[in-house]
Amino acid sequence: MTQLGYVGLGVMGGRMAKRLIDAGYPVIGHNRTRSKAEWLIEAGMEWADTPRQVAEASELVFSMVTNTQAVISITQGQDGILAGLAPGKIYIDMSTASPSNSRALAEKVAASGASMLDAPVSGSVSTLEEGKLSIMVGGERATFEQALPVLLDIGPKVTHVGANGMAVAMKIASNLSLAVQMLAFCEGVLLAEKSGIKRETAVEVLLNSVAGSPMLKYRGPFVLGMPEEAWFNVNMMQKDALLALEMGRELNVPLPTTAVTNEFLTAARGMGLDQKDFAILFRVLAEMSGVEA
């Protein structure tokens, strides 16, 4: 089968690599912190010391890292992915990062004779593990068709949205609503609770009402008990909110609810909650409301 590579084996990237291993693909991988990848090595993944080694050994190279600077870090330099690419190879970056950087990176990849797709995902740990992840893809249609069978082994819904950088733009447009929805949900829960309704009852009613979006159905219960490991922490969520606000300024699209929610994310960071899942917005609003979170 096609030799695959994966750089960035965090909460989501690691689980995607595991799905590919389970699908029978030979996978070679690299992560900044090797200890976090030991479980994948035990599952059959080959370890590489650098992103370049991953690219050199693979036909399709995936990456998923935290932000634009991290993408630059794993792709540039003598040990970066770009140095290991060659004609015919495909590089698929699944990070949510700057669309302009993604387009510039695609040009550098093309100069090596390889092809690039940006392929961020919509979903969480639970949707990934349930096999329900949605993937949006930007890049040449022919490259998309080549990579499609492998992408379908990660998630069942894969959509080509346009040229390089467009999938990342689509992801940012989608992600801005996650924190906005969560903040509105927290407002509703707290308003009900201060009216005398039990928090558990308010959560149950809201999640089973017309307001209960798929995202709220899996993250809304976090207001009753936060996960030990953040699915998507405050820093990551604010990174996406700031990318959205930057795009809004560039494209003259006002994003008022995103701007307000971004301030609450800043408040969460100021309270030392930056590594918590962004559902911790409930605690920020609860403390402002005089409610024990």
Tell me the mean pLDDT in the region 97-122: 96
Q: Is the pTM of this model over 0.95?
A: no
Which of 192, 175, 165 is CA-nearest to residue 262? 175
102 phi and psi angles, rounded to 5 deg: -65, -40
Residues 267 and 249: their CA atoms lie apart, in Å, by 23
pLDDT digits (tens, 9 = 90+) for 61-106: 999 999 999 999 999 999 999 999 999 999 999 999 999 999 999 9
What pLDDT does residue 251 have? Answer: 95
| CA neighbor of 101 nearest in space, from 112, 116, 121 | 116
265 touches 179 (CB < 8 A): yes
Region of 198 (left: φ > 0; alpha: ψ -120 to 50; beta: rest) is beta
Residue 13 has pLDDT above 90, yes or no: yes
Residues constituting the chain: 293
Residue 52 tokens read as 């370049």
What pLDDT is attached to residue 228? 86
Per-residue pLDDT tens for 178-214?
999 999 999 999 999 999 999 999 999 999 999 999 8
Residue 25: pLDDT band with limits 50, 70, 90 = very high
Statement: residue 126 has pLDDT above 80: no
Write down all domains in the chain, each with its CATH number in brackets.
Answer: 4-164 (3.40.50.720), 172-288 (1.10.1040.10)
Give the span between the Cα atoms of 119 and 117, in whole angstroms: 6
Write down the pLDDT at residue 90: 98
Average per-residue pLDDT in the chain? 95
In this prediction, residue 200 carries a pLDDT of 97
- Tell me the per-residue pLDDT of 216-258, one tens digit each, with 9 for 90 and over: 998 999 999 998 888 889 999 999 999 999 999 999 999 999 9
Mode of pairing for the β-strands spanning 46-47 and 60-63? unpaired
- Whether the pLDDT of residue 125 is over 90: the answer is no
DSSP-derived letter for residue 233 is: B
pLDDT of 171 reads 94
CA torsion sign, 164 to 146 to 137 to 39?
negative
